[in-house]
């Protein structure tokens, strides 16, 4: 039996998550939703609105993200543009989200998209979690406002991000290194920091103190390689079978 045109079901419209709508309303035009895994929410905002958005998320009665669980830095230097950088291992099989195919050359990274700060928030009252991210505008000297005034627990997290990534937090009450040794040069979690470092530390019995020396270990490939222990790959046996 045919259905009259005026009673046919209208095309279904995708349901709008009420939490997403509320997040965007509270955060304002400086924020946007980032695609995430099902059940996860990631909100990205401009660096200039970092503290304002964080404060709004904390104080809104329907959100109440009153607990900062974690805060970290991220270096997107080669994200989506290169695979594992090695000298002797294969360049395939260890993809890092690189665009593939004909004409799929990755675009140059836009300025102000290298260093990001990510805060993981928890609303105890509403049993919700949220990931908040902002990119630092300056790639050479990344800086963003401190969240210590919003969540006191951000203090040591921001010191860690400063120590490992070199991200500066304006307004932090005590921004100094927290993990690396005294006199450490550089920021070890940056993607362009050498894996072997620059110096090594040892105790010198003659001087009776710890001394710093140029690193002596050789750079090596850490990507696993497949080694086929098969006679078909032995040059001598392969030549004999060919006869």
Q: Mean of the pLDDT values across residues 182-203?
A: 88
Q: Which residue has the higher pLDDT, 55 or 224?
A: 55
| pLDDT band with cut points at 50, 70 and 90 for residue 94 | very low
Residue 39: per-residue pLDDT = 87
Pairing relationship of beta strands 115-123 and 67-75 according to DSSP bridges: antiparallel
Residue 227: per-residue pLDDT = 57
Q: Mean of the pLDDT values across residues 108-120?
A: 93
Residue 100: per-residue pLDDT = 53
Using CA atoms, how far apart are residues 196 and 216, in angstroms rounded to an integer?
A: 9
Contact 174/158 with Cβ under 8 angstroms? no
Tokens 């894996």 found at: 195
Q: Mean of the pLDDT values across residues 166-179?
A: 97
Using CA atoms, how far apart are residues 158 and 71, in angstroms rounded to an integer?
A: 7
pTM listed for this prediction: 0.76
| pLDDT band with cut points at 50, 70 and 90 for residue 147 | very high
| pLDDT band with cut points at 50, 70 and 90 for residue 221 | low
pLDDT at 88 over 90: no
């Amino acid at each position: 039996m045919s259905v009259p045109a005026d009673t046919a079901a209208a095309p279904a419209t995708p349901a709008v998550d009420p939490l997403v709508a509320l997040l965007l309303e509270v955060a304002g035009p400086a924020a946007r939703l980032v695609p995430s895994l099902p059940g996860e929410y990631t909100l990205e905002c401009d660096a200039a609105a970092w503290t304002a958005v964080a404060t709004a998320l904390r104080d809104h009665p329907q959100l109440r993200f009153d607990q900062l669980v974690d805060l970290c830095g991220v270096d997107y230097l080669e994200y989506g543009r290169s695979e594992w950088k090695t000298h002797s291992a294969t360049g395939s099989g260890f993809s890092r989200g690189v665009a593939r195919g004909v004409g799929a050359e990755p675009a140059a990274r836009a300025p102000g998209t290298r260093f990001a700060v990510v805060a993981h928030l928890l609303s105890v009252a509403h049993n919700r979690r949220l990931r908040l991210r902002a990119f630092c505008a300056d790639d050479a000297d990344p800086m963003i406002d401190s969240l210590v005034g919003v969540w006191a627990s951000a203090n040591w997290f921001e010191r860690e991000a400063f120590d490992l990534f070199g991200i500066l937090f304006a307004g932090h009450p005590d921004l100094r290194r927290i993990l690396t040794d005294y006199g450490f040069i550089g920021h070890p979690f940056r993607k362009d920091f050498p894996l072997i470092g620059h110096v090594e530390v040892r105790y010198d019995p003659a001087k009776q103190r710890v001394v710093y020396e140029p690193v002596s270990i050789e750079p090596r490939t850490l990507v696993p390689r497949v080694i086929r222990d098969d006679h078909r790959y032995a040059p001598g046996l392969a030549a004999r079978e060919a006869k």
